[in-house]
């Protein structure tokens, strides 16, 4: 017995396959194939407009970079996870409501290249938290990078 049994009846899955709705690939494989075929397609959409996969790369998101985000649970989190992984970067979600010290320590230790945050969060100045965390190495007083892109 598998740890996570498939809850979709086999007959229904076969019908989806016949109808062309089920490509028999993982979500991530389908997503990365789409990314490769359509780099200018929107990777993330929000009230300010779309960000394409190519724009993520132009923002400096590269394979093995860390992209941190502090957002309430939403479908945007899923979109960010897939988009970041599709360009080969590492996703670092951290929950809203963390204290200044936690945020600073997390972002410094992770060396996040990009930080995605809400404009507002009740009683917390997220922009100041993130800005204060930027890029002085705990091991020395030397600056090791410019502040993460927000």
Residue 123: exposed, middle, or buried by beta-carbon count in 10 A (0-12, 13-18, 19+)?
Answer: exposed
Q: pLDDT band at residue 146, thresholds of 50, 70 and 90?
A: very low
Q: How confident is the model at residue 140 (pLDDT cuts 50, 70, 90)?
A: very low
**Per-residue model confidence as pLDDT tens digits over 10-65:** 898 889 888 988 777 776 677 778 878 998 988 777 677 788 877 776 766 888 89
pLDDT in tens, 118-131: 766 666 666 666 66
Among the ranges given (55-69, 112-126, 131-145), the one the predictor scored with the smallest mean pLDDT: 131-145
Confidence of residue 150 (pLDDT cuts 50, 70, 90): very low
Please name the residue ranges forming H helices in the chain.
Answer: 10-19, 27-37, 53-58, 75-86, 100-110, 126-132
pTM over 0.75: no
């Amino acid at each position: 017995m598998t740890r996570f049994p498939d809850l979709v009846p086999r007959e229904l899955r076969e019908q989806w396959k016949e109808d062309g709705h089920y490509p028999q690939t993982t979500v991530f494989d389908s997503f990365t194939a789409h990314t490769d075929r359509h780099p200018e397609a929107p990777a993330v959409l929000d009230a300010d407009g779309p960000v394409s996969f190519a724009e993520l790369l132009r923002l400096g998101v590269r394979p093995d970079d860390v992209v941190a985000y502090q957002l309430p649970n939403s479908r945007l989190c899923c979109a960010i996870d897939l988009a970041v992984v599709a360009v080969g970067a590492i996703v670092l979600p951290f929950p809203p409501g963390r204290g200044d010290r936690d945020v600073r320590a997390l972002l410094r230790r992770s060396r996040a290249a990009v930080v995605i945050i809400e404009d507002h969060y009740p009683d917390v100045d997220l922009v100041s938290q993130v800005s204060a965390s930027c890029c002085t190495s705990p091991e020395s007083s030397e600056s090791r990078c410019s502040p993460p892109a927000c």
